[in-house]
Structure 1
Amino acid sequence: MLFLRMLFEEFKSIIFEKDVIILLVLGPIFLTFIFGGAYLNSYVEDIPIAVLDEDNSSMSRMILQQFSEDDRFNLCYNTNSREELKNLIDSRKVHMGLYIPPDFSKDVTTLESSDVLIVVDGSNMVVGNNAYAQAASIIQTIAAGTQIKLIEAKGIVPSLSYNIAMPFQFTDRILYDPKMTYMNYLIVGFIGVFLQQVMLSGVGISVVKKGEYLAGKKTFKKLFARLIVLSTLGLASTFTSIYIAYSFFNIPIKGNMQVAFLMALIFILAISCPAIILAALVKDRLKFAQISFMLSLPTFATSGYLWTMDQLPAPLITGIKMLWPLIYFVRPFDEVIVKGLSFEVVKGNIMEMLIYTLIWMPIAIFILKKRYKQEECAN
C-alpha cells in the first residue's frame, strides 16, 4: 500500500511537469512524423546527370535514351568537352557524368575493346551509390544485348547466341525489405534513439528537479516509482510512433510486439542509469540537456545500427558495452519488429541489458545520494 501511494504521488507530481510530459509524450511522435517525412520517397530519383557523346552514333544515342527514360536519372546537360563535364560535377549542378568516347560504336562492332566512362560525385554516399549502381546496371544490360546481336550476326541461332553471351545467370531473393528502401532501414532505428533521448532527458530532468527528495530515505523505491511513471509515458509514445510508421509510412511490422515491448522496458531501466549519473554529477538542467543531446549522435553511430558491429574495432565495442546500453537494444529492437525475430534470438541482448542495469543502477544511486548529501552538508 505504501509503494502504491508513493507511485500515485509520483504520477501526480510528473503530470504537472509540463516539460517532461511534452518531451515524453509528444517528442517521439513529432520526431517520427518529421523523419518519416524526410524519407517519404523510397528511393533517390531524378538524379541530375550530364553526358558527353563524342561518338554520336545510333548505339551511343540508344545508350543515352536508356538513361533519359530511367526514373533514377534526369539528363540535364549535353556537354561539348570533358572540361565542361567536369565543371558541371564540380559546381554540383549534376551528380554524375557519362562519357562516350569517339569511335565507340565502331570499336564495339569490330570487337575492339571500348569503355563507357561513368563519373560519379562520391562526396554524397547516398546519391553516389544509387547513381553508380543504376548506371552500371543499365550499361551491363546494354552490353549483354549488344553482344548477343553481334554473335547472331555471325550466323549463330538466337537461342545459342544467348547461351554463349550469357553462360550463366544468377537469381536473387531479398528478404524482409525487397525494395531496399531508406525508410524501412532507418525509421525503426530512429524511433529506438528517440526513446533513448526522451528517457535520458526525462529521467535526468527529474533527478535535477527532485534530487534532494530522491536522495533522502527510500531512494530506490522513490526512483523505481518515478521510473514506472516515466517509462509508461515513454513506452506509450514509442509504440504510438511505431503504429504511425506502420500506418502512415507503410513500415512492415512482422514481429511480436510483446517481445519488442519487453526489450524497450528493460532498455528504459538500463538507460536510466547513465541519466541518473549524469544528472547527479552536473546538477544543472541546462548542462544536462547539452550533454544528453550531444551524446545522441555518437551513441547511435557506435550502436551497430548504421555500421555493423562486426566492423567496429573490438576495444571500442568493449568500451561501449561497458558504458552505454544502446548497443544492446537498437538493432535487435528493429529486427524484432521488421524481421520478426523470436524471444530466443534476442534473449542474449535482454540479459545483457539486465546485467548492465544490475551493475550500474547501484552505482547511479550511490552517486545520487553522495552528490546531494554533500550539498545538504554544505548548506
Structure 2
Amino acid sequence: MNTTTQPVPVATPSQQGLLGAWLHALATVVRDKGVLLLLVGAPVLYGFFYPWFYADEVLTRVPVAVVDLDHTSLSRQITRFADADPRIEVHLVTGSEREAQESLWRGEIEGYAVIPAGLKRNVVRGENAVVSIEANGAYALLNKAVQYGFAEAVGTVSAGVEIRKLQASGQSAPQARASRAPVQLQMVALFNPTEGYGSFVVPAVALLILQQTLLMGAAMLTGTWVESGQHRARATTWLGRLLALCTLGWASGLFYFGWIFVLHDYARGGNPLGALALLACYIPAIAALGALLGLWFGSRERALQVLLFTTLPIAFVAGFSWPVEALPEPLQWLRWLLPSTSGVQASLRLNQLGAPLSAALPYLCALVALGAVCAGAVLALARPSSPDARQ
C-alpha cells in the first residue's frame, strides 16, 4: 500500500503572525552586524562618548591679553580684576595692539581688551570712556567667555569709581551703593542650574541620536528585506517588524532618559510619565519613517549612504541650535516632517522643564500623525502583489 506524505507547511517570513514576525525581526537584527551596531551599539557608544566633550560644562580661565595704552592706576586695576575673573586669565599685558593681534592669530590667546590712552583722565572729568574688547568669533563659547569676563571686570571697576564719586559728594558708603544700584537684580537659572553648555545641548542631541541610529538601522534592515524579496508581506508581519524596531528604540530611549541624564547630572525627571508618553509616540514614528525610506531606497547601502549625511541639516532645523525664525519659510514647514522636530521640543518641555503633558500635546499629536501616515504607507507599498501571496 503506497502512502504519500504531505509536506508540512512552513511559515515564511512574509506569512508570519505578529509574534513570529517580531521574534524573526529581532533575530535578523542580531545576525546582521551592521544593523546591530546601529540599533544597539551606536546609542550606547554615543551615550557615553558625546557628553564627555562637555564634561566641564562652563569654560574657565580662557587665555586673554590686555593692551594697556593708559598706564595708570585705573588701567592696572582693570587688569587685576580681569585676571581675578574665573572666566578669563590674563596671559599678556602689552602696550602694542599689534602684538596682541599676532598672539590671537597664533592661537596663544582667545581675545584681548584695549584700554585707551587718557582713560583715567576722562573718568575723572566725567567724560565717556570706552574699553574695546576683541574676541575670537570663530568659537561662540570662547567668544562669550572673553566678552563676559572683561565686561564683569570693567563693570566692577566702573561701579567702584561711581561709588567713590558719590561718597565724595557727601553720601555714606551704604547710601552710595544704594544710589549706584537702587534695584538689586538676582538671577536664578531654573532649568539649567550650572548654566553649562552640555546641560543645554546634550538633552536635545540625545533625541537626534535616537532618531538617526534608529532611522538608519530601520532603513538598512528594510533594504535587506527588499533585496531578498521579503518586503512583500502581510500587515501583521510588518506590524511585528515595526514592533521589533520599536522595542530596540524604546530600550535606547530608556537608557538615555533613565541613565545617561542621571550619570552626567543633566536636568531631568520634570515629568517622568510625560517622558514615557513621548517615547511611546516618538519611537514608532521613527521606525515607520525608516521602514518607508528603506522601501524607497530599495538597497541597504544606499539607505546608509543617504541618511548618514542628513544629521547636521536635521540638527540645524530642529529648533535648539539655531533660531527657527531665521530659517527660510519653506524649511519652517518642511521640518515638521521629521520626528526630531516635535520630539526635541516635547522632550525639553517634559523631561527638562517639567511642563504638564498638555503643554507638549500638540507635538505628541504630530508624532502620532506622522507615525500613522508612514506606517500606512509601508503597509500599502509592501502588501503582497498577488492573491496567492496574500493567502
* Mapping 1:3-14, distance limit 5 Å: 3-14=18-29
> If you compute each CA radius of gyration, which structure gives the higher value, 1 or 2?
2
Figure out how many residues of one structure are paired with residues of the other and give that number.
Answer: 370
What is the Cα deviation at residue 316 of structure 1?
Answer: 2.0
Structure 1 residues 47 and 316, CA gap change in structure 2 (3 angstroms): same
Which of 200, 224, 235 is the matching residue for 2:239? 224
What is the Cα deviation at residue 259 of structure 1?
Answer: 2.2
Match of 2:36 in 1: 21
Letter in 2 for 1:173: V
Match of 1:234 in 2: 249
Q: Does 1:348 align with 2:346?
A: no
How far, CA to CA, are the matches of 2:165 and 2:62 in structure 1?
32
Deviation string for 1:96-128 (max 9, x for gaps)? 111112232232223232222211222222211
Deviation string for 1:43-83 (max 9, x for gaps)? 11221111111222222111111111222112111223122
* Mapping 1:126-165, distance limit 5 Å: 126-165=141-180
How far, CA to CA, are the matches of 1:367 and 1:117 in structure 2?
63
Question: Bigger CA drift: 172-181 or 43-52?
Answer: 172-181
Match of 1:376 in 2: none
Gaps of 5+ in 2: 1-15, 386-391
* Mapping 1:174-185, distance limit 5 Å: 174-185=189-200
Scaled by the length of structure 2, what TM-score is found? 0.87
Question: Bigger CA drift: 12-21 or 232-241?
Answer: 12-21
Structure 1 residues 365 and 295, CA gap change in structure 2 (3 angstroms): farther
What is the Cα deviation at residue 176 of structure 1?
Answer: 1.2
What is the Cα deviation at residue 369 of structure 1?
Answer: 5.4
Letter in 1 for 2:125: T
CA contact (8 A) 1:271 1:325 kept: yes
Match of 2:188 in 1: 173
Question: Bigger CA drift: 29-38 or 357-366?
Answer: 357-366
Deviation string for 1:8-42 (max 9, x for gaps)? 33333333233322322221121121111100011
Scaled by the length of structure 1, what TM-score is found? 0.90
* Mapping 1:309-348, distance limit 5 Å: 309-321=324-336, 323-348=337-362
Letter in 1 for 2:135: V
Question: Bigger CA drift: 28-37 or 100-109?
Answer: 100-109
Structure 1 residues 358 and 230, CA gap change in structure 2 (3 angstroms): closer
Structure 1 residues 369 and 4, CA gap change in structure 2 (3 angstroms): closer
Helix, strand or coil: the match of 1:119?
strand
Letter in 1 for 2:378: A
CA contact (8 A) 1:120 1:131 kept: yes
Structure 1 residues 344 and 214, CA gap change in structure 2 (3 angstroms): farther
Gaps of 5+ in 1: 374-379
How far, CA to CA, are the matches of 1:181 and 1:230 in structure 2?
34
How far, CA to CA, are the matches of 2:179 and 2:18 in structure 1?
79
Helix, strand or coil: the match of 1:294?
coil
Seq. identity, %: 21
Structure 1 residues 107 and 41, CA gap change in structure 2 (3 angstroms): same
Deviation string for 1:270-294 (max 9, x for gaps)? 2234322332232222221121111
Letter in 2 for 1:38: F
CA contact (8 A) 2:191 2:353 kept: yes
What is the Cα deviation at residue 313 of structure 1?
Answer: 4.1
Question: Bigger CA drift: 47-56 or 156-165?
Answer: 156-165
* Mapping 1:192-203, distance limit 5 Å: 192-203=207-218
Helix, strand or coil: the match of 1:138?
helix
How far, CA to CA, are the matches of 1:275 and 1:8 in structure 2?
19
CA contact (8 A) 1:55 1:100 kept: yes
